[in-house]
């Protein structure tokens, strides 16, 4: 997968905003850079809020990425099987 970008985590850290991580498997049916869309059931999972107070942008980024990756393994395990 593409690496997660850090801009949102940095902005949350600078402003004191709470981060709400979201994981979904829409990419299974709506491939990146493809005109074609395929039918299917998309699962969306909203994580626990992550307060930014006392955390650096890098710490927030790591917490969000860890939650999303763990949740993606739960909602779409086939995408993470060894190839």
Mean pLDDT by 10 residues, the chain (83 residues): 88 95 93 90 97 94 96 92 68
Residue 34, in any domain of the structure: yes
Residue 2, in any domain of the structure: no
pLDDT in the model for residue 41: 94
- Give this prediction's pTM: 0.85
pLDDT in the model for residue 1: 66
* CB neighbour list of residue 1: distance below 8 Å, 6 or more residues apart: none
pLDDT in the model for residue 64: 97
Q: Terminal CA-to-CA distance of the chain, rounded, Å?
A: 14
Element (H, E) at 10: helix 7-15
pLDDT in the model for residue 76: 94
Cβ atoms of residues 66 and 50 within 8 Å: no
Residue 52, in any domain of the structure: yes
- Provide the residue range defining the domain that includes 41: 7-80
């Amino acid at each position: 997968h593409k690496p997660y970008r850090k801009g949102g985590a940095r902005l949350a850290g600078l402003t004191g905003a709470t981060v709400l991580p979201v994981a979904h498997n829409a990419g299974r049916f709506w491939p990146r850079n493809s005109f074609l869309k395929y039918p299917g059931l998309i699962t969306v999972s909203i994580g626990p809020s992550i307060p930014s107070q006392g955390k650096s942008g890098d710490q927030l980024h790591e917490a969000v990425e860890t939650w999303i990756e763990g949740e993606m393994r739960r909602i779409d395990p086939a995408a993470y099987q060894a190839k």
